[in-house]
Structure 1
Amino acid sequence: MRLESLRVRNYKTVVSEAELGLDPKGSVLVGANNSGKSNLLKAISLFFKKDNDQNYYTRDKDFPFNGDSRQKTSFIATFSGDAEGDPRDQQIFHDYEKLRSYITDASQRLRGEIQLSLQVSPSEKFTYQFFPNQKQRSTTGAERTQFSRLQTSLVDQLLGSFECNYIEAQKDAFEIHERILMPHVKNRAAEILESHKSQLMNLLDEISEDMNITMETSEISNLSASIKLPPEGFSELLGNFVVEVDDASNTPLGMKGHGVQSTVLFASLPWVSKQVAQGGKTPIWLIEEPEAFMHPSLAHQSARVIDSLAELAQIVTTTHSTAFVPQAQDRVIGVKRDEGGTKIEKFRDYHSATLSIRSSLGIKFGDYFSLKKTNIFVEGITDQKYLEWVTNLLLNVESAPMEVQEAAVEVSRAQILELGGTTGLCGFMRSNYKFIKPEHAVVCILDGDDAGKKAAKDLNRYLYGSEQINFIANKDYVLVRDGFEVEGLFPDEWIIEKHEESEGWFEEYSVDATGNTVTFFKIKDSKKQSYMGHMIHRAESESSEGNYAWLDRWAPVLTVVGKSLKKKAAEL
């Protein structure tokens, strides 16, 4: 049998209703602190207790403080099984159908599914029912008694077909080993000893006989003694087994750190699960924050152990570690809490699933790229150097236009990231912008040539079409001078003069009929550094004399970028 889902109402932080649908490969509950993740694990554990004789549930502690006091805490579990194959499942389904025959208009379930409800009264009494709020076909006392007995038997069969273990975050791994692992070790050891029972019995008889002979020779005739096995069998003979861990020094588990203890604990669960399954039960592991006390490297390794455990058992975990969040979103259950209590939500992708974890840890997606609060993406290293140069220049002079200086301050605070050309920038934005946009202020600077304009158009089409994200000119991106790369931001007069001096630096070059306006040009890659050095030297010379006319084309780019970064940063 398998537990497919559990609906919870009026339990701890769950007020209205929360339904957990469990994935066959293991389910992971993800959410902020105090959202109710652990309470959902405890709800599953409570469902399998069968009665409340050990005060697993107390009304004062477990009923929601803002719940309707007239209501009961209630759960509805859906189970599935192999009604045609497994003999134990067959018996459960046979009895379930027999119980159904007593009910008028029993709702039809999918073949191979069973629903069982649990209600906990204000007096803390547990009541399990297969067909709650539905009338029986007959009202005779004998048939009501038969129905009640069959229902009680079926509850015992169904719940007894599971072994549910809850491992808390603040766990004592050594104590859990004693509680979970050692009983199974002793049972298996006892099975091995059983094959040597005759030899052991002969030994005990021999010792008993010797004792009795000694008493007889001492004229103690009214006494005799015998040594016997305990009624519980060989397992009671066995003392404590010791788990030792060899990690350069061989020491008992209890002497290791909590992280190592937890790792060894998780490594024992597959073997324990096999023993539980061999005993005819389905193991369920409810593991709260398995990463507790672990170094991140151990957490990743332990996550693989827990994933492999899903082949042998049902697993539900809670976590605050991205190491334990699977890429398969069907396995991730979002848990959030609002004024109405704990609620379940689904995540669209892995990034969404881990967002609350990363936010609580202060980790952003952009941290993987060392992004700052504000960032400028450029096509290449030349663009980055020009931008850093002009910004530093404007920060160190007093007579530049105020608006441009203010923009330079904003640009200087930003991280400038070059992305290996137009293709690299486009690929990076396609893959990462939807994740970076909510966390960081970003503006792209694109060349105004055909490649830059095509990149802006393609990104706008892709981001809006795939992610419904607008990519807007002079907000999300800035195109430099129309038809030119960044080198075209300097005055035409300077470019013309440089062409006259060093024609060999130019791969392409053209002017209009007046000869005073450059219509297009392209610097050879091998000469870009030389061109940059020449233009920077000339701009710095002009600036030292208080002449900033050369900024005419730079100013709009800097101003738009600076204002956009400032506005975006304020909106984050």
Structure 2
Amino acid sequence: MEIVSFKVSQYRSISGEISSDNFNGLTIVGQNNSGKTNLLKAMRVFFEGKFNPDLYDYEKDKPHGVKQGQTSFAVRFTFSESELDDVSEDLSQDDDDDDDDSIIELGVLGEQEEPSNSISFDDGSSKQQESKPTQSRGRKLSLRDRYLQLFNMIDDSRLNSPQNEVTVHLTISNKNNYFYTVFKGYKRKPEVTSSMYTSVERRFIEKILSSFECVYIPSSKSIDDIYHNLLVPYVRSEVASAMKTSVQVIHDKLLEVSEKI
């Protein structure tokens, strides 16, 4: 997913509303105290505030002089081509469980043979074994799967078909409670209860938030701080991921050498 636009209102020095588009390589330029840093911090609040309560405090982060109102966000995302194609067959709104990444069962394509479910029979001379096809647990729900689950709960003439983009709204109350919503203002199908919709919506939003990583680097940071706190951990992670497939090969070779010594 990519961010298409970001909108925030009632946050710190942003007493009205600030919106930005075209986030691929965006550079924010402006006068001192025009809200550049607060816009970046607002992005971090949107993505991480739900999991880190220290990032936002209503009394401290509401605009000066504002007695009423709530901090709100509207972030529009677009699905990549690969994400649009990553769709499960026969997806229903019931394909879910309590895990963060639910697993749906595959149909005929998911059948496989497992000896543990085999059937033995005796033909009079020798015993034979026949394997019974079993259904594998399937695959994890993709981001697009979760979007389609949510879309299929909507019944509104303004939204006739699935879109390539989706907008996530966030409102933070004066009690520091986070309220994320998708398809804001659209009608649900009569048979879809509030709890059913909220459950699917929550999982979809959490999957979106977890697919992004915010790295905020204050201008006061030194080169050494950036190197040790940002660059080194990233390089280690990438190298470890690249070496993962070779670890077993190295282990086997060391074992082979040790047996010859």
If the TM-score is normalised by the length of the shorter chain, which range does it land in? 0.5 to 0.7
| Equivalent position to 1:85, from 82, 87, 91 | 82
Tell me the equivalent position of 2:10.
Answer: 10
Within a 5 Å distance, the mapping from 1:223-238 to structure 2 comes to none
Contact 2:151 2:162 in 1 (8 A): no
Task: Report matched runs for 1:480-559 at 5 Å.
Answer: none
- Structure 2 spans left out of the alignment, 5+ residues: 88-141
Question: Aligned residue for 1:123?
Answer: 175
Alignment correspondent of 2:72: 74
| CA distance in 2 between partners of 1:9 and 1:44 (Å) | 12
Percent identical: 28
What is the aligned partner in structure 2 of residue 333 from structure 1?
A: none
Question: Counterpart of 1:138?
Answer: 190
Cα displacement (A) at 1:97: 3.1
Write the mapping of 1:233-312 to structure 2, written as runs, cut at 5 A: none
TM-score normalised by the chain length of structure 1: 0.32
- 1:158 aligns with 208
Does the residue aligned with 1:29 lie in a helix, a strand or coil? coil
Which residue is 1:95 aligned to? 146
Q: How many Å separate the matches in 1 of 2:157 and 2:51? A: 29
CA distance in 2: counterparts of 1:46 and 1:88, whole angstroms? 30
Amino acid at match of 2:216: Y
Q: Which of these residues, 193, 197, 204, is aligned with residue 251 of structure 2?
A: 197
Higher relative contact order, structure no. (Cα contacts within 8 Å, ≥ 6 residues apart): 2
What is the DSSP-based 3-state SS (H/G/I as helix, E as strand, rest coil) of the residue aligned with 2:215?
A: strand
Identify the residue that residue 544 of structure 1 maps to in structure 2. Answer: none
Deviations 1:296-329 (A, max 9, x none): xxxxxxxxxxxxxxxxxxxxxxxxxxxxxxxxxx
Change (3 A) 1:154 1:50: farther
Task: Please tell me whether Structure 1 or Structure 2 has the larger radius of gyration of its CA atoms.
Answer: 1
Q: CA deviation at 1:101?
A: 2.7
TM-score after normalising by structure 2: 0.65
Q: 1: distance between equivalents of 2:13 and 2:144? A: 34
Query: Within 2, Cα distance between the matches of 1:110 and 1:37?
Result: 34
1:7/1:77 contact within 8 Å kept:
yes
Q: For residues 44 and 85 of structure 2, what CA distance do their matches in structure 1 show? A: 22
Aligned to 2:213, the other structure's residue is in SS state: strand
Match of 2:220 in 1: 170
What is the deviation of 1:179? 2.6
Q: Quick one: distance in 1 between partners of 2:205 and 2:4?
A: 17
- 1:427 alignment partner in structure 2: none
The alignment of Structure 1 onto Structure 2 pairs a total of residues equal to 200
- 8 Å CA contact 1:50, 1:159 repeated in 2: no
Q: 3-state SS of the aligned residue for 1:116? A: strand
Change (3 A) 1:64 1:96: same
The CA deviation at 1:38 is 0.8
Cα shift at 1:21: 1.1
Kept in 2: contact 1:106–1:134 (CA 8 A): no
Q: Distance in 1 between matches of 2:208 and 2:31?
A: 34
| TM-fit CA distance, 1:19 | 1.1
Which has a greater percent of helix? 1
Look up the SS of the partner of 2:209 in the other structure.
helix
Show the counterpart of 2:229.
179
- State the partner residue of 1:32: 31
- CA contact 1:4–1:23 (8 Å) conserved in 2: yes
Judging changes above 3 Å, is the alpha-carbon distance between structure 1 residues 44 and 53 closer, same or farther for their aligned structure 2 residues? closer
